[in-house]
Amino acid sequence: MKLLILNGPNLNLLGIREPNIYGKETYTDLCERIRAYADQKGIDVRLVQSNHEGALVDAIQAAYFDGLDGIVINPGAYTHTSIALLDAIKGVNLPTVEVHISDPDTREEFRKISYLRAACIATVKGRGTQGYLE
Ligand code: CA2
């Protein structure tokens, strides 16, 4: 099994700012932890982070064209704005899980809407970076 683990804007800043919300682990630490866990499970992972909406769409499409089996996505703030990412996930029809480190439903009003949720088979939120492994 091969999965795309896709992270959106500013998630490369993990561990650098706002540790009270997003924890102390850096993006590099997170990637290493995901890779080690996936190795144990015999899962091959493609780890991608981008601050650009179009690059995230390209990564979703590449997962489809390259025959990957599913997607784990933390779309960052594009969660709350991006019909393009919703359409990309619907378009490739790969099983996709939405992950949020924090629980956006308990934060500001504008974080309560997820455009992507409708296209995802599950949402994991508020579990810290452990949520990626779940
Ligand atoms: O809780 C999550 O994982 C979010 O997807 C994170 C997004 C936020 O816009 C969503 O509402 C919820 C923000 C990611 C930014 O990450 C940072 C990490 C460290 C320092 C600054 C930003």
Sign of CA dihedral 19, 21, 23, 27: negative
Distance separating alpha carbons of residues 70 and 72, to the nearest angstrom = 7
Looking at the predicted structure, is the pLDDT value of residue 65 above 90? yes
Looking at the predicted structure, is the pLDDT value of residue 112 above 90? yes
Q: What is the pLDDT of residue 98?
A: 98
C-alpha 66 – ligand 1 centre gap (Å): 28
Q: What is the pLDDT of residue 38?
A: 98
At 66-107, the pLDDT tens digits run 999 999 999 999 999 999 999 999 999 999 999 999 999 999
1-19 mean pLDDT = 95
Q: What is the pLDDT of residue 18?
A: 87
At 13-53, the pLDDT tens digits run 999 988 899 999 999 999 999 999 999 999 999 999 999 99
From the CA of 102, give the closest atom in ligand 1.
1
Distance separating alpha carbons of residues 28 and 79, to the nearest angstrom = 22
C-alpha 102 – ligand 1 centre gap (Å): 8
Catalytic residues: 22, 100
Q: What is the pLDDT of residue 64?
A: 98
**Directed axis angle between helix 53-65 and helix 83-92, to 10°?**
0
Q: What is the pLDDT of residue 17?
A: 83
Of 6, 11, 12, the one to substitute when testing ligand 1's pocket (max ligand atoms within 8 A of C-beta) is 11
From the CA of 75, give the closest atom in ligand 1.
5
DSSP 6-75: EE-TTGGGTTTS-HHHH-S--HHHHHHHHHHHHHHHT-EEEEEE-S-HHHHHHHHHHHHHTT--EEEEE-
Helix (H, G, I), strand (E, B) or coil at 123: strand
